Amino acid sequence: MAEARITPRSQDYAQWYQDVIREAGLAEAAEVVRGCMVIKPHGYAIWEKMQADLDRRFKATGHENAYFPLLIPLSFLAKEAAHVEGFAMECAVVTHSGLKSVDGVLSLKNELEEPYVVRPTSETIIGHFFAKWIDSYRDLPLLINQWANVMRWELRTRLFLRTGEFLWQEGHTAHATHEEAKEEVRRMLDVYRAFSEEIMAVPVIQGVKTDNERFAGAVETFCIEAMMQDGKALQAGTSHDLGQNFGKAFNVTFQSEKGEREFVWQTSWGVSTRLVGAVMMAHGDDDGLVLPPKLAPIHVVIVPIWKSDAEKAEVCAAAHKLAAELRDDGLSVKVDDRDNMRPGEKYYQWERKGVPVRIELGPRDLASQSVMIKRRIAPLDANGKPMKEKLAMDGLGVALGKVLDEFQKFLFERALAFREANTVSVDSWAQFEQVFAGEGSKFVWAHWDGTAATEKAIKDATRATIRCIPHPGHGPKAESGVCVKSGQPSRQRVLFSKSY
């Protein structure tokens, strides 16, 4: 089967994204189910790596996993006014149970007394159970996480970034005081930031959302925002201070140490399969996917090189022996010994899939007890060709471990440098409009007067939105100024960008 071409990013970024997803075998649109996707094995393996690392972090911070029903009674959704406002239009609704077949044609059988919605998020159903489980201050804090699928039928969908159904985790916690809940919100935002930077190699800006961008039902929404290679922002994780909103809606109360009945303070926080899209768009290039080693299902692919059958037998045996040794060193290794494909084609396929390191192993390498390795992104030699490196067989596992650590660091630093090169402070409306003209986007630090009206005027004019009001240390030094649009006073710069 001939490989299809990957459209260069510079030519059509959106098409590049689709091409890489297809060529790397990450996912495909499930065109028969509105807005949904199939996550193919390579894409799912990346999500599994994300899950394993996040789950470890959640448990280390005291959370336990549980599982709540997929279906939520319609009336539950209506109990928190802002919440239903935010999610009602996107809900899939179950109205019937059972089908009857007449002459092979299926029709609906039993209408339900009350319809259910397929969960778009689980604050309401979990609130219902928290009310049953929490009785005293001794039951608090209650720290729960759920790994689940959710559905939000939105009009415009895009693989991984915005799909009708997606996979995610949703943390839900209840606390005795607002201060404790706020600490939890910050703690989990920190967990997300650390995960994004250490594992995904994607630097993020953290801060708080404006009223307009807040989660439906929250008091405050905190977020981490990452820059993609087209200069747009991707919201990579959110952590919500729910105040007592859901506590009041679902009557979640506890007896305090003083013996008084009080509403609990709640939080929720989540990240989803959209992170697979974030990794793609942060690191991928015109040759395909580029994976940070900590998320790579395969760290190293070994491609044996042979000319004769005798050579084939020798190098393939050596390749499998080497793979077994490297696996003992904790590396995930694939030997590609297919005999219906030339080495060059194999290189090409594994590059598209983003494997961080390739090993070429031929008879000459065996003789010299060394291997040639090539990083997925390598420095260029004098002729502009990516350099290969010669490594001794002896101690190869340790040496490759070092190469992978370097590559992880390289990707983070490259992404950080890219973001810095594409971040500007803007003080005039003309310059602001210029940055966001056409398909253009950067991260823009600009003063804003704090009103929803100005926020909307800026969005209508440029499609740029306020990604967050940065936390101290996560943006430019606090300084007062005047709003880039209205000229009214501003206390600090906020982050503007177009976004996914």
Q: Binder to its own copies among 7, 70, 332, 377 (CB under 8 A)?
A: 70
Q: Binder to its own copies among 18, 22, 82, 92 (CB under 8 A)?
A: 92
Identify the residue whose tokens are 């030997």: 335
CB of residue 142 vs its own copies: minimum separation in angstroms?
10
Cβ proximity to its own copies, 144 vs 226, nearer residue: 144
Judged by phi (left if over 0) then psi (alpha if -120 to 50, else beta), residue 79 lies in alpha
Q: Is 378 in the site for its own copies (CB under 8 A)?
A: no
Q: Is 32 in the site for its own copies (CB under 8 A)?
A: yes
CB of residue 347 vs its own copies: minimum separation in angstroms?
20
CB of residue 96 vs its own copies: minimum separation in angstroms?
4
CB of residue 337 vs its own copies: minimum separation in angstroms?
15
Q: Binder to its own copies among 8, 14, 41, 439 (CB under 8 A)?
A: 41
Residue span 320-359 as binding mask against its own copies, x where in contact by CB under 8 A, dash where not: --------------------x-------------------
Q: Is 313 in the site for its own copies (CB under 8 A)?
A: no
Among the candidate windows 2-10, 100-108, 401-409, 458-466, which touches its own copies by CB under 8 A?
100-108
CB of residue 29 vs its own copies: minimum separation in angstroms?
10
Instruction: Write the DSSP string, 325-374.
Output: HHHHTT--EEE---SSS-HHHHHHHHHHTT-SEEEEE-HHHHHHTEEEEE
Q: Is 68 in the site for its own copies (CB under 8 A)?
A: yes
Structure tokens at 107: 């029709």
Of 115, 109, 232, 127, the C-alpha closest to 170 is 127
Distance separating alpha carbons of residues 221 and 213, to the nearest angstrom: 8
Q: Binder to its own copies among 115, 397, 401, 440 (CB under 8 A)?
A: 115
Structure tokens at 53: 């690392």
Structure tokens at 364: 């000459």
Of 288, 295, 267, the C-alpha closest to 196 is 295
Residue 158 CB neighbour total at 10 angstroms: 18
CB of residue 435 vs its own copies: minimum separation in angstroms?
36
Q: Is 165 in the site for its own copies (CB under 8 A)?
A: yes
Distance separating alpha carbons of residues 353 and 299, to the nearest angstrom: 11
Residue span 117-156 as binding mask against its own copies, x where in contact by CB under 8 A, dash where not: xx------x--xx--x--x--x-----x---xx-x-x---
Q: Is 251 in the site for its own copies (CB under 8 A)?
A: no
Contact between 344 and 416 under an 8 Å Cβ cutoff? The reply is no
Whole-Å CA distances, 282 to 190, 228, 419: 20, 5, 10
User: What are the backbone angles phi and psi of residue 55, rounded to the nearest 5°?
Assistant: -60, -40
Give 377: exposed, middle or buried? Use CB within 10 Å, 0-12, 13-18, 19+: middle
Judged by the rule CB under 8 A, the positions of this chain that interact with its own copies are: 1, 28, 30, 32-34, 36-41, 44-45, 48, 64-78, 81, 84-85, 88-101, 104-106, 108-109, 115-118, 125, 128-129, 132, 135, 138, 144, 148-149, 151, 153, 165, 167, 340
